[in-house]
Amino acid sequence: MWLPVRFPQKNNGYMKGLYILEKKDYRGVVFNIQRYSIHDGPGIRTVVFLKGCFLKCLWCSNPESQDIKKEIAIYPKKCTKCLNCIKACPVNALKLKENSSEIEIDRSKCIRCGKCTQVCSSTALRLIGRDMYVEEILDEVMKDEVFYRRSGGGVTFSGGEPLMQVDFLKNLLIASKKEGLHTAIETSGFSSWQKIKKVINYLDLILFDIKHMDSEKHKQMTGVKNKLILNNARRIAKIDKSKLIIRIPFIPKYNNSENEIKEIFRFAKEIKVNNINILPYHNFGESKYINLGREYKIKNISLLEKNDLESFLEKGKNMGLNVFL
């Protein structure tokens, strides 16, 4: 049964909102909304990136997604050296680097209040992460409704790991389905089955990452073992394999041998999932680590050309799978 929910606004007033099933968690932390995407499900889509992830993949191109809390990113080249941020910081976490005119953050002190970003006119400091209500997000998503209808697109919830904010995700999905949208998530699959059960009936498509079949190697790459992930893939496939696409992040030196990829193909055959999407490694997120004061742990990995993957596409097809880039 649909229940009406009122969405609180910042001024402590109320406005009539969407009709959703649960009254809790109608607000979550979002770090980006990307319109006109064509790589995250069928058709033209809007991708909503939720903050927080259970994994720490070495190649992650969205390191700002890993921590569910908001955080400060620094873009030194944009800094005008006005020093307003230093004056605004309530805990003295900002200072000039020694022998340099660049600003640096003592992240052990930083309370992520964002006051420094509010006085930075050059956007050299940015607060990553924003509290958003379901209604705010749907208003943004529905701006492109005409493109979804014409292209067979819709909305994709990504991250991070969207299942980390599962009740918020459920409300987003229910609201999206009420608008008649095609819904998808991008997930690592590392989550309790109880959380997956909350959202599976509201999903038209699940883009499910399988990074390695060897549990210890998986842990070296992501920080967690893969038993839970594989079990969840099996259970989803048993319920409705047609909504499942297995995606393989193809990372040179980590999981790009013929045997490693064929093991994932065999797993897909075992659970009767035919659609496999290979995602070639890229280093687009490397600069983000610097901005967040973190180390990018895999370097000097060669970028891939389509020709480098042709043999894997062919092997998958020979096994009766639909393998695509």
How does pLDDT run across 127-152, given as a tens digit for each residue? 999 999 999 999 999 999 999 999 99
Handedness of CA 62, 68, 70, 73 (dihedral sign): negative
Split at pLDDT 50, 70, 90, the class of 40 is: very high
Split at pLDDT 50, 70, 90, the class of 17 is: very low
Q: Is the pLDDT of residue 217 over 90?
A: yes
Split at pLDDT 50, 70, 90, the class of 9 is: very low
Element (H, E) at 228: helix 227-240
Q: Is the pLDDT of residue 13 over 50?
A: no
Phi and psi dihedrals of 295, rounded to 5? -100, 130
The pLDDT score that the predictor gives to residue 19 is 45
The pLDDT score that the predictor gives to residue 6 is 37
The pLDDT score that the predictor gives to residue 11 is 37
pLDDT tens digits for 253-274?
A: 999 999 999 999 999 999 999 9
Q: Is the pLDDT of residue 163 over 90?
A: yes
* Tokens 């889509």, located at residue: 45
pLDDT tens digits for 107-133?
A: 999 999 999 999 999 999 999 999 999
Residues 171 and 162: their CA atoms lie apart, in Å, by 12
Split at pLDDT 50, 70, 90, the class of 25 is: low
User: Please, what is the average pLDDT of the chain?
Assistant: 91
The pLDDT score that the predictor gives to residue 230 is 98
Across 304-320, average pLDDT: 92
Which carries the bigger pLDDT value, residue 68 or residue 22? 68
The pLDDT score that the predictor gives to residue 307 is 87
Q: What is the pTM of this model?
A: 0.91
Residues 6 and 104: their CA atoms lie apart, in Å, by 42
Split at pLDDT 50, 70, 90, the class of 303 is: confident
Split at pLDDT 50, 70, 90, the class of 176 is: very high
Q: Is the pLDDT of residue 224 over 70?
A: yes
- Neighbouring-strand partners of residue 246: 208, 276
Q: Is 287 in a helix, a strand, or coil?
A: helix
Structural domains of the chain ordered from first start: 3-66+130-324 (3.20.20.70), 71-128 (3.30.70.20)
List Cα–Cα distances, 232 to 1, 39, 100, 160, 249, in angstroms: 28, 24, 50, 18, 18
The pLDDT score that the predictor gives to residue 223 is 97
Q: Is the pLDDT of residue 20 over 70?
A: no
Of 95-104, 158-167, 189-198, the one with minimum mean pLDDT is: 95-104
The pLDDT score that the predictor gives to residue 24 is 53
Residues 6+ apart with CB under 8 A from 50: 28, 29, 30, 31, 65, 157, 158, 159, 160, 161, 162, 164, 165, 168, 169
Closest of 172, 162, 189, 197 to residue 53, by C-alpha: 162
Which carries the bigger pLDDT value, residue 22 or residue 247? 247
The pLDDT score that the predictor gives to residue 10 is 37
